[in-house]
Every structure is written in structure tokens, then in C-alpha cells.
Amino acid sequence: MGLKWAATAAAVLCFAMLALLLGMGGGQDAEPQPGPDDGPWSTTLKPDAVPDWARAPLLHAAQRCPEVTAPVLAAQIETESNWNRFAHNGKSGADGLAQFLPGTWAQYGVDGDGDGRADPRDPADAIETQAAYMCYLVAFCRKNSGLRGDLLDLALASYNAGPGKVKDAGGVPPFAETVRYIKKIRDLANTKYGKTETPQNSGGRAGAVIARAAEQATAETPYAWGGGTLEGPSRGTGRDSGVVGFDCSSLARWAYYQGTGRQITLPRTSTEQFTATRGQPVSVENLQPGDLMFWGSGGEIHHVALYIGQGRMIEAPQSGQVVHETAIRVKGDYAGAGRVFGGPMDIAANG
């Protein structure tokens, strides 16, 4: 498994038609797109599906880029080594959970646990390096815009067969092992290790809240410190006194108020919103669309964003920027998440 660099001519002929179905070839200006039958990738990890020692490293490593999620990393590890940290391929020299070749490890190896050395048989190092290398391959495939096929499929093919083979083929190369590799990881990530999220959670109300926030992201509404009311954008204060828009907490407040038909009114500040949802804390692996994510420390919260599913959120970031959708961030002073639906504000609003 992992980083295979060759295939037989017979395999090339046998799987040529299958490669075409996966998107091989195409115009030079085409962005990699999902195949017609591929479907979405699940992005939220089923925490009980992985060994206890792997859960934290997987969730940490999955923060490197939005395409490489914890379920994908878990499915890839099962495919590469079946969770055996001492796995070794005597023929290729590939080592560890993620089956890195010595040369690739020497170039990309990461000290994931900060012990001063990068060891392919150390789970924290192996998983962090696996994610770092996969994100590099995602960037490689995105940069080579002539490639056809799902972007993550292309990155997985690059991990298995080598990025040069993917570039030469114009997409997923027609190698039997590579085609099986992608299919197995996709199946495992979407079933055993991943759970599907949709904005229809919480009786469909989360979808309406998210839709309102998305309107402001589409409109690129400016960030305005102190701006934003229950009725829409308004003039900010202080350094943003000349800007009409939302700050982070007023955006969340407006989206909930408008998205629930004026039933749920969140407190005004991010600190107050954190306190109001503290009774329903949510771990990263159990986030659902509509949850509020917070940043700060010592009880002082300085930022809030609306989780929208698939590892993404909508936020009003800071002065000089606009409301936008982005990948979630759970590093630095991330303080946790809270759920509005089913909590005291929801119960009070609905009697």
C-alpha cells in the first residue's frame, strides 16, 4: 500500500475505460470536479470508530486543509496499515500507519507530538505527516488545472501512484490498485468513519438560519464593529463608525432571529452567547449545522461563528473584511461550541 509508482501494461489496458469514467483527460482550464456518481465526502468523524489513541491526532491533523478530513485520514490509515503502527513493506520500504516511503518521509516528515523527532511509527507524527502530505497533494492537483476528476480522488491517486503519474494521465491513472484504493477509502470514509451532515438537522430550522447567514456572505457584507441589528446591517462604532455591516455576534443574532421567524433572539455579545449556550456544549466531532463556535479565553469570548456543516462555517471576521464562508478553525484560543436548538432559548421561544 501507499505511494506505489508503477503498474503493469495489462492493468492499464484493463482499466482504461474505467479511468475515462473517473475523469481522465480534458481541457487545460478545467477545475477538478466530482464525478457524476461520486457523491459528497462525509467530513465528521464517528469518534467510536477509531482507536482511542488516534482520535485526538486525527482531529488535530484534519485542521490542515478543508479537503483532508478526519474520516478520510482514518479510512486511509485502515487501507494502508489496518491501524498497525509497526506495519512495514519489505519490498518498498514503506513504514508505519500511513506507509511512507523513506524518501518521502525524509522530505515531508512532521514532528506531530513535539518530542524533537519525526518517526513514521509514532502515531502522532505519522497522522500529522499524512495530513500535511495529503494537503500538499490537494494543492498540487488544484494547481494543475488540466486534471479532471474529484479533487480529493486526485490527491488520493497521487498518494498511491505518485503525483507524476496523475499529472501524466490527466486525472486518476488507470491502475487497478489505484482505482481500488480510492474506492475503498471513499467507502470507508462515508460509512465506517464518517457521518453525513445536512442543514436539515434540528427539524430543518438550522437550514433556514444558515440560509440567512449565507445571504450576507454572498453579498459580502462588511464587518462593522458594533454594527448590525435584528433587522439587518447597521452603522458600526469606533474604528468602523463609517461602515454599515455586522460584527460577529450581531451576524449570528440576526441569522437566528430572521431564520426562526423572529422566535429566537440570541444575546447581543459573543460572551453572552457563549454563556447562553453553555448548557449544551458540543465537541468538534459532534458539531451540527446551526451550532455556534467560539474563540477566547478566561471567560472572555472575542469571536463567534455559525457552523454550517461539512467542516465549514460563516463568520464576520474583523474590521476591513467581509462576511464569508470558510473552513472551521479549532486551534489557538478556540473555546468550544454550543447548541441553540433544544436549549433554553429555543424552549422559551416555542413554549
Q: List, by residue number, the catalytic residues.
A: 248, 303, 315
**Cα–Cα distance for residue pair 270/302, rounded to 1 Å:** 6
Whether 215 and 325 have beta carbons less than 8 Å apart is answered as no
Beta strands in 231-332 (DSSP E): 234-235, 244-245, 281-282, 292-297, 300-309, 312-315, 324-327
CB count within 10 Å of CB 251 equals 27
Alpha carbons 165 and 161: distance in angstroms, whole number: 6
The 3-state DSSP class for residue 135 equals helix
Q: CA angle 172-176-177, nearest 5°?
A: 90
How far is it, in rounded angstroms, from Cα 208 to Cα 217? 14
C-alpha span between 331 and 347 (Å, rounded): 32
307 forms beta bridges with 313
- Nearest residue to 325 via CA among 336, 338, 339, 311: 311
Closest by Cα among 136, 148, 163 to 68 = 136
Tell which residue, 311, 229, 215, 212, has the closest CA to residue 268: 229
Amino acid at 39: G
| Among 119, 77, 118, CA closest to 99 | 77
No. of helices (H) and no. of strands (E), the chain: 13, 10
The residue assigned the cell 466530482 is: 34
